[in-house]
Structure 1
C-alpha cells in the first residue's frame, strides 16, 4: 500500500489562502500581511511567502514591491476577457465530452444538479458554490484532453472567486441553478446547439452581473 506524503507547510498555507480567497473570507482588493498570516497559521514567514508567490502565479494575489500583497481585483474588461476564455474553452470541452463519454457526463451532471438542489434547500451557499465550480470541471473531466483541462485549471481559482463575489446579487444564484439544470438536460439529449446557446447565456450573465456589482459598489461609495 502506498503511503500518502504529508502536506508541507507551504501546501497547507496555500490551500488555506486559496480557499479563503475563493469563498470570500478574504475580499477582493484586501491587503494581506505575511506576518499576520504566519501568526494566524502558526508557521514561519517562509512557507507563507512561498504560498503567496504561488497564488500570484495563479492570479489570485498581486504582489508589488514596497506596497505589499493584495487579493486580486478585476476590471470590467478583465471579466469580459475571462468570459470570452470560458466560452471558447468550455464549448470545445463540451464537444469532446459529448463525443467521448456522453453517458458519463450526463450522469455526473445529473448527480451534481441533485446535490445543488439539496444545498439550496439547506441554505448552504458555500456548498452550492463549490458544486457550481465542480459542475464546470465535469466538462473537462469527460473531455479527455489534459491540455484543455490544465488551461482551465490555471484560472479556476479566479473564476470560483468571481462566482462567490457575484452570488450575493439578487436572483443571481437562482438563475444560475436553473441554467445548470437546463445544461444537464441538454447533455442528456446530446443537443450540442442547445448546449452552446445555454452556455453563452450562462456566461454572458456573468458579464452583466459584474457590471451591476461595479455600479452598486460605486453607488455605495458615493453615499
Structure 2
C-alpha cells in the first residue's frame, strides 16, 4: 500500500507544474508566505518543497534575497543541452534494442498528441507531448541509472520547452517533422538515422533557447 504524500511533496508537485505550465515565469520571485496561504499550509512544508525543487534545478534560493524560479543564461543552456545529448544518445539505441514495440507505441502516442496540439494551437500541450516523446527512450532503455540521470534535468528541460520553444510556431513545425523522422527511423530499426536525427534535434536546442531568451530580453 502506497503511503500518502507529505505536504512538502504535494507543494513541490504543485509548484513544479506551475513552472512547467508557465503559470510561474522564469526568474520570478516566490513568496513563502503567499504560497503557504494559497495552498493552505504552513511555511514549513513550503520551505521543504522549495529545497526539493532547488535540487531539481527549478528553484534558485539566494541567501538574504529569497527564492526564485530558475532563469538560465546561455552557458547554462549549452551545458544542459550537452548533458541531455549524452544521455539521450545512449538511451535511444538501448530502447530500440530492449523494448522496441513498447517504445514505438509511446513515441507514436506522443506524436499524435503533438498533432492534436498543433491543430488546436495549444503550445503547452505540444510541449507536454514533446517531453513525453523523449521520456519514452528513458522509460524503455532498461537502464535505471540513465533514467535517474535524465530525471535530474527533466524538469528544467520541460520548463524550457514550455517557456521558450513551444510558443514559437516555426519551432513546433520543425520539432514535429523531426519527431516524425525519428519514428520512421525507429520503426525501420535504422539506428544510424535515428541517432543522426535525434542528435541534430537536441543540439539545435541551444541556439533555439538562447535566441528565444534574447527575444524576451531575459538572457543574462
Output the TM-score relative to the length of structure 1.
0.92
Stretches of structure 2 that go unaligned for 5 or more consecutive residues are none
Q: Tell me the distance in 2 between the aligned counterparts of 1:196 and 1:22.
A: 27
Does structure 1 residue 52 correspond to structure 2 residue 50? yes
Partner secondary structure for residue 60 of structure 2: strand
1:67 alignment partner, one of 38, 47, 65: 65
Contact 1:116–1:131 under 8 Å retained in 2 = yes
User: What is the match of residue 171 of structure 1?
Assistant: 170
Contact 1:87–1:203 under 8 Å retained in 2 = yes
* Shift of residue 56, structure 1, vs aligned partner: 0.6
User: What is the match of residue 203 of structure 2?
Assistant: 204
User: What is the match of residue 89 of structure 2?
Assistant: 91
Contact 2:107–2:133 under 8 Å retained in 1 = yes
Q: Paired residues, what number?
A: 218
Contact 1:109–1:184 under 8 Å retained in 2 = yes
1:23 alignment partner, one of 21, 35, 55: 21
Does structure 1 residue 110 correspond to structure 2 residue 108? yes
Contact 2:123–2:162 under 8 Å retained in 1 = no
2:99 alignment partner, one of 98, 101, 104: 101
Q: Tell me the distance in 2 between the aligned counterparts of 1:20 and 1:130.
A: 13
Q: Tell me the distance in 1 between the aligned counterparts of 2:43 and 2:110.
A: 39
Cα RMSD of the aligned pairs, angstroms, is 1.6
User: What is the match of residue 145 of structure 1?
Assistant: 143
Stretches of structure 1 that go unaligned for 5 or more consecutive residues are none
* Shift of residue 66, structure 1, vs aligned partner: 0.8
Output the TM-score relative to the length of structure 2.
0.93
Matches within 5 A, 1:182-193: 182-193=181-192
Q: Tell me the distance in 1 between the aligned counterparts of 2:27 and 2:152.
A: 20
Matches within 5 A, 1:122-161: 122-161=120-159
Q: Tell me whether 93-102 or 142-151 shows the greater mean CA deviation.
A: 93-102
Q: Tell me the distance in 2 between the aligned counterparts of 1:132 and 1:215.
A: 23
* Shift of residue 120, structure 1, vs aligned partner: 2.1
Contact 2:113–2:125 under 8 Å retained in 1 = no
* Shift of residue 140, structure 1, vs aligned partner: 0.8
Contact 1:105–1:187 under 8 Å retained in 2 = no
Moved segments of 4+, more than 4 Å = none
Contact 1:183–1:198 under 8 Å retained in 2 = yes
* Shift of residue 193, structure 1, vs aligned partner: 1.1
Partner secondary structure for residue 22 of structure 2: coil
* Shift of residue 34, structure 1, vs aligned partner: 0.2
* Shift of residue 170, structure 1, vs aligned partner: 4.2
Partner secondary structure for residue 79 of structure 1: helix
Q: Tell me the distance in 1 between the aligned counterparts of 2:158 and 2:140.
A: 20
